[in-house]
Structure 1
Amino acid sequence: MYDTILVATDGSADANRAATHALEQAEQHEAELHAIFVVDTDRYAEPALSSTELETIEIEEWGDQELSEIADRGEELDIAVTTQCCHGKPYVEIINYADKIDADLVVLGYHGHSHAKGEQIGSVTDRVVQNAGRPVLVAT
């Protein structure tokens, strides 16, 4: 049913649950799995000789670590995971990457680090669900 799956992470608890679901789906369908972390340029400045450069670099390194953890979990299940860390607006980058790889399924957490806990879906997840034009699994 699924040949290519994309999971997005920000390292939150819901994103970690999303990664678990994505790995399960990839294993069940013998699908190719991609994982993406987006450094939100609305929250963190683009690296340029400034005082925020170190913070942006730290977020990117943290994102790479989160992606490595997903790849390691995939390796344990004999699933190769292609990772992508990029900068931009998270929902735009997630949708663009899903389009680029022609993902059959996008897997996201209900809300991430930037969203207050509660009943309302996170803004990134909401925008991806409404604009992706493909199936989106939302992990809670």
Structure 2
Amino acid sequence: MYETILATTDGSEYARAAVEEAVRLAAEHGAALHVLAVVDRRVREATGLSTEELVTVESEDQCREHLADAALLAADADIECECKVSYGVPPERILAYADEIDADVIVLGTHSDHTKHLGGVGRAVRAGSNREIRVVDDRTTDQLVELHRT
């Protein structure tokens, strides 16, 4: 049984599948739902971009749009969710927020046909957490790709 669920979003179809799975789990378990989007400071610091401030504002706007989409998915299922924008390195911020809210499970999306592994953020979250990690496929929220708990 879950009491607190954390889903992450970057606006991709993979993240949308993760949010849909998190909404389903929240409804099934009567759990609190939190959705996190991270403004990646590594992108802001990349060379060749305009000013750091402009990039940060654009990233914040994108994160807020992704969270608004997640909130709509939750509202459509009559689930309340707490949405948050965080700043830093995504795996670090995801793990810190999971600790802050004492998440029972972290729900992530996977890219493409990866059935046995995650992308960089997912790998880092999995390696750094003793929480349950649910990874869903972008093609269907019913297909659980990986379940990890240490």
TM-score normalised by structure 2 residue count? 0.82
Following superposition, the deviation at residue 121 of structure 1 comes to 1.9
Matched, 1:126 2:123: yes
* Amino acid in the other structure paired with 2:118: I
Partner of 1:51: 51
Report the RMSD for the aligned CA atoms in angstroms.
1.7
Q: Report sequence identity in percent.
A: 37
Amino acid across the alignment from 1:11:
G
Deviations 1:92-127 (A, max 9, x none): 00000000000001001114xxxxx66452100011
Counterpart-to-counterpart distance in 2, 1:100 and 1:52: 28
Give 1:124's aligned amino acid: V
Number of aligned residue pairs: give it: 132
1:109 pairs with 2:106 = no
Aligned residue for 2:39, secondary structure, equals: strand
Please show how residues 22-61 of structure 1 align to structure 2 within 5 Å.
Answer: 22-45=22-45, 51-61=51-61
Give 1:85's aligned residue.
85
Question: Residue type of the partner of 1:38?
Answer: V
Mind listing any 5+ residue stretches in structure 2 that lack a counterpart? Answer: 138-150
CA distance in 2: counterparts of 1:101 and 1:51, whole angstroms: 33
Shift of 1:84: 0.8
User: Equivalent residue for 2:143?
Assistant: none
SS of 2:108's equivalent in the other structure is strand
Counterpart residue type for residue 26 of structure 2:
A
Q: Distance in 2 between matches of 1:60 and 1:84?
A: 11
Q: What's the secondary structure of 1:43's corresponding residue?
A: helix
CA distance in 1 between partners of 2:60 and 2:14 (Å): 19
